[in-house]
Structure 1
Amino acid sequence: MHATPPRKRLARRLTATAAVLAATAGVLSTAAPAGAASASYSHGHGHGHGNGHGRTVDVQLLSFNDLHGNLEPPQGSSGTVTENQADGTKKVIPAGGVEYLANSLRTARKGHDYSITAAAGDMIGASPLMSGLFHDEPTIEALNKLKLDVTSVGNHEFDEGRAELTRMQKGGCHPKDGCFEKGKKFQGADFPYLAANVVDEKTGKPILKPYTVWQRKGVKIGFIGVTTKHTPDVVTAEGVKGLKFLDEVETIDKYAKELDRQGVKSIVALVHEGGMPANGSYNFDCDTPGAGAGISGPIVDIAKKVTPKVDALVTGHTHQSYACTIPDPSGAPRTVTSAASFGRLYTDTTLTYDRRTKDIVRTTVKSPRTGNHVVNRDQPKAADMTALINRWKTLAAPIANKPVGYISADINGRGSESLEQPLGDLITDSQVEALAPAGKGGAQIAFMNPGGIRSDLAYKASGGEGDGVVTYGEAFTVQPFTNMMQTKDLTGAQVLAVLRQQVSGANEEQPKILQVSSALTYTLDLTKKGADRIVASSVKVGGAPLDEKKTYRVAANEFLMGGGDGFPAFKDGTNKLVGPSDLDVFVAYLTAHSSKASPLAPPKADRITIVK
């Protein structure tokens, strides 16, 4: 979900390679011939589902989102999904890994003459070392093999800037690190990246295709791709330099009209923006009426406003799973789906195409084969994906497999239900320790954005290098951005403003609770609203009450210090000193404070007292 500057890569240490990518995924074009006008949505089914000879035909739409280069099965809680059981209990299921995702999608496609695979952004960026080390070329290669037909861009597609995103689409070796395998040139994506609402500041034109049309045997379905208009708030300024991000609804409506004029009446919007379901289990029915049901967040407003010309919304960004029905402006039912993240789920939606109207007969998520499905790990692995992983792992191994620390148990960074994560405490403590010396910044306290912690540290790692061992690759997976650290002067009043911005302003509806170093403690009262949720009298630094007139030396990564994630108060800091990268600081702390004989225990996560 969150942010990064262009990374200072380690890839140049290795001899390079970009495999020739294969497998195109469907017949796609950017335009379709004009056709007769039709109603914005169809009524009634006709006959002949699936066989292609009757009035209607069923088109299978398989979708996923927020893969983030997770080719290997994700570790810890990042590699599980929760399933509601009939008796009211919950079951945790290991899930994810592109070997299993490929097998799941290929199995799901069997028996379907009309099948499309689409994604809703963040396919790359914030990736584990095996993909991130090679600027995510391995992930694009894997997506080609998956036969992905189309995806929207997400905010993380801009982590390394516009030029690098263009290279992901068109191919070519990296401008600085070159090719990663001798004699092989990166071929780029076989599928189109859609960026309808991302335009050049000077020309006003989209930087990539705004839409594409899938066609087969007379069936035409248009896809419009957009990312969240708030991308500049969650990506560093360098990553979005020269770009404007337009309103999602206005952009989708504009291109839906254009497609409609071309005779394309069946339209799917791929939207890298999302919501929060009332229940975190993947099989939660968010259409159940009553208190505690439903979905909230930005996607609800978008779904209610987008033109009825659009028949379904595939969404992402929040890493949540849902398959909901939200009425369009005309009152017709319309599916809004998201498949969590990291390849743990895929969504199977049935689009019933009416050959006469050329439109979709609206179905709900209750219909057969529509909903989220677990990418479980008790199925066969796709052999071609295993070969791909092994090839890139071999190239990454000299760096990835180096032990850098030891832990005595899982240290959760994303998996705990608490707003304060043990791994967040560990990371902020590492930042203060590195930047506390006077010559390094004199840091007294540190803050970490929760979205920048990309994984847990798992005691039993999937790599098989030994229980409790933390490798460089695993540390990189936790902190993949290589954000540079900064230390600034902030007054106590500014520190208090930072704390209040967690739960007010841009973050009032969906709070972003920063992780804090050990010297900073306070109470978060969730029974109150807005900035009042921070109990000002409870804030202490080093055990002493916060003095609003006093100056404190505060450490954070460059993304936060630039006001990212809705924290403008950081920008008011003065006397900036730039330090090492967050990853280097984290690795150094792990190495200095742990050994095989004396591993690190999970922090207590007791710095924020929460009142509910």
Structure 2
Amino acid sequence: MKPTGLRAAAFLLGATALASPAMAETVKITILGVGDAYEFHEEDGRGGFARLNAVARAERAANPNTLYLFDGDMLSPSLLSGFDKGQNTIDLTNIVPFDLAVPGNHEFDFGPENFIEKMKASKYPWAAINITNADGSPVEGLGGVTWKELAGLNIALIPVAQDTTPQVSSPGDLKFLPTVETGVAAARKSREEGADLVIGVVQTDMENDRALIASHAFDVIVSGDDHSYATAYDGVTAYVETSMDARFLAPIDLMVEIGTDRDGNRKIEWVPHFRFIDTAMVEPDPETQAKVDEFKAQLDASLNVEIGVTEVPLDSRRNVVRAEEAAIGNLIADAMREATGAEIAITNGGGIRGDRTYDAGTVLTRRDILTELPFGNVTVVTELPGSQILAALENGVSQVEKGSGRFPQVSGISFAFDPSAPAGSRVSDVKVGGEPLDPDRIYTVATNDYMLGGGDGYSALGGGRVVINAGNGNLMANDVIDYIARTGKVTTRVEGRIRKLGAN
């Protein structure tokens, strides 16, 4: 029988005890996973690369049998990445390199060429078993299943990327195989090839995480993408959802017993010990902090320029801009429409990234707007019939229950939607300038270049006559900055542009 991790069923069936407990060896394997690390600096004294690197150094010092793993999303989005396309995150993680990094969807926000460039600049390996070139050939420099030998254990690391990346980012013609199926198959094959421990390093949503856990093909899974913190253990698979910006970390200590059964076969048993680290309690790594301070100084001079005061509260939190009309979404869409003279503006809530609130009376700076809109997207204009605009809105609300970034923030148009209706049939009462949407009439629509190219599933925005393309458009952030600076204030409120039916 091939070696396996501890299985809950073994307890229920009365697993055979080790033949000679005195001959068994117990070793500790520490697994530290992190992902969705965008901002180079701390936020309210928590997170950031200086604290992350301090934790990684400490874990390796405490246990040489430590695996430090990155499960996706660092090159984008952040304020600084808008200038250096994520090089700052490479510089900071090179100080304390990972044992393995998996590309997240945001690794491709600046195109596949930028990812390959940054991968080459890394002092650690990147890998993903489900990313290939368009012809199915391997991507140069991107590894696959990675084997590590620690404390006499053969450990297989299964790196898996998010298969929806082509819909939510810009990976060019790279091909992404199914996340779950590809990951499970590789895990099972690694077990057959003699892995004592199989560890999934994945960047995918919780729905896929649950499927990976249920496969019982993995001993441990560290996962990113959801921006949340979670740990779980079902008696077979230990799981960590690795938070955001290294705010909270959860090292897992596997206490592994290596021995033999009565037949003389190698036998591996383990128990997970989860630990919780609030990085607000961590002293920043001095070497990393010096680099962070350098980056901060570069930004401060040009970004701390005041542009206006908001007279109303603004809320850019993820659960707001991806689920309902938001005043900040109205502000951004209004700025796009005014800058272009379009009749309608539609932008994706997932492109609004500040994840914070602004009280009425807050003085807004260029930094604030660039933090909210860090992707460097350009405002474009196309001409479309009303039927395609309706299809675009249907796409926008089709995954609202999942918190998808495609949720639309709009200007010049209003609509209602029923989240309990089938996707594709949720939108009603669409009006443009107060008049019902005419499916046959051609409207001018301002959006961003990412959405015009089909990003976030917005294929319905394509095919029209493009009036302003990406090469001739302005940065969205600049349109918003100019819009605020023109009057020196923000007065845009939530006003019923988007109505959720069935809501209390």
- Normalised by the size of structure 1, how large is the TM-score? 0.71
Please name the residue that 2:162 is paired with.
228
Please name the residue that 1:280 is paired with.
none
Change (3 A) 1:510 1:590: closer
Q: Residue 473 in 1 paired to residue 383 in 2? A: no
Change (3 A) 1:601 1:224: same
Please name the residue that 2:303 is paired with.
400
Change (3 A) 1:488 1:169: closer
The Cα of 1:196 is off from its aligned counterpart by: 1.4
Change (3 A) 1:356 1:253: farther
Alignment partner of 2:3 out of 13, 16, 38 = 38
Alignment partner of 1:353 out of 241, 244, 256 = 256
SS at match of 1:386: helix
Alignment of 1:83-482 (within 5 A): 95-106=46-57, 111-129=62-80, 131-171=81-121, 189-202=122-135, 204-207=137-140, 208-236=142-170, 240-256=171-187, 259-260=190-191, 263-275=194-206, 297-305=207-215, 308-325=216-233, 333-356=236-259, 361=269, 363=271, 368-370=273-275, 373-376=277-280, 379-408=282-311, 411-415=314-318, 417=320, 419-436=324-341, 443-456=342-355, 459=358, 468-482=362-376
SS at match of 2:135: coil
Change (3 A) 1:269 1:577: same
**8 Å Cα contact 2:312-2:493 kept in structure 1:** no
Give the Cα separation in 2 of the matches to 1:605 and 1:338: 36
Change (3 A) 1:488 1:213: same
Q: Residue 71 in 1 paired to residue 46 in 2? A: no
SS at match of 1:73: coil
**8 Å Cα contact 1:320-1:340 kept in structure 2:** yes
Q: Which amino acid aligns with 2:108?
A: F
Q: Which has the higher helix share?
A: 2
**8 Å Cα contact 1:539-1:546 kept in structure 2:** yes
SS at match of 1:481: coil
The Cα of 1:510 is off from its aligned counterpart by: 5.5
The Cα of 1:576 is off from its aligned counterpart by: 3.9
Alignment partner of 1:522 out of 407, 412, 415 = 415
Alignment of 1:3-22 (within 5 A): none
Q: Which amino acid aligns with 1:400?
A: L
Alignment partner of 2:486 out of 589, 592, 596 = 592
- Give aligned pairs, total: 480
Please name the residue that 1:23 is paired with.
none
SS at match of 2:387: helix
Give the Cα separation in 2 of the matches to 1:229 and 1:119: 17
**8 Å Cα contact 2:27-2:151 kept in structure 1:** no
Give the Cα separation in 2 of the matches to 1:369 and 1:489: 54
- Structure 2 residues without counterparts, runs of 5 or longer: 261-265
Please name the residue that 1:561 is paired with.
452
- Structure 1 residues without counterparts, runs of 5 or longer: 1-35, 48-52, 80-93, 172-188, 276-296, 327-331, 437-442, 461-466
**8 Å Cα contact 2:136-2:175 kept in structure 1:** no
**8 Å Cα contact 1:133-1:396 kept in structure 2:** no
Larger deviation, residues 109-118 vs 189-198:
109-118
The Cα of 1:127 is off from its aligned counterpart by: 1.9
The Cα of 1:309 is off from its aligned counterpart by: 4.2
CA offset digits 1:170-199 (Å, max 9, x no partner): 22xxxxxxxxxxxxxxxxx22211121111
**8 Å Cα contact 2:3-2:195 kept in structure 1:** no
CA offset digits 1:333-352 (Å, max 9, x no partner): 21332123222222222323
Give the Cα separation in 2 of the matches to 1:121 and 1:64: 8
Change (3 A) 1:500 1:515: closer
Please name the residue that 2:263 is paired with.
none
**8 Å Cα contact 1:562-1:568 kept in structure 2:** yes
The Cα of 1:153 is off from its aligned counterpart by: 0.8
Alignment of 1:526-605 (within 5 A): 526-534=419-427, 536=428, 538-578=429-469, 579-594=473-488, 599-601=489-491, 603-604=493-494
Please name the residue that 1:7 is paired with.
none
The Cα of 1:247 is off from its aligned counterpart by: 1.7
SS at match of 1:565: helix
Give the Cα separation in 2 of the matches to 1:421 and 1:259: 47
Change (3 A) 1:416 1:158: closer
SS at match of 1:343: coil
**8 Å Cα contact 2:318-2:353 kept in structure 1:** no
CA offset digits 1:297-330 (Å, max 9, x no partner): 233234334xx4421221122223322346xxxx
Q: Residue 484 in 1 paired to residue 378 in 2? A: yes
Give the Cα separation in 1 of the matches to 2:439 and 2:167: 27
Q: Which amino acid aligns with 2:408?
A: Q
Determine what percentage of the aligned residue pairs are the same residue: 25
Change (3 A) 1:511 1:431: same
Q: Which amino acid aligns with 1:551?
A: I
CA offset digits 1:263-298 (Å, max 9, x no partner): 3331211111012xxxxxxxxxxxxxxxxxxxxx23
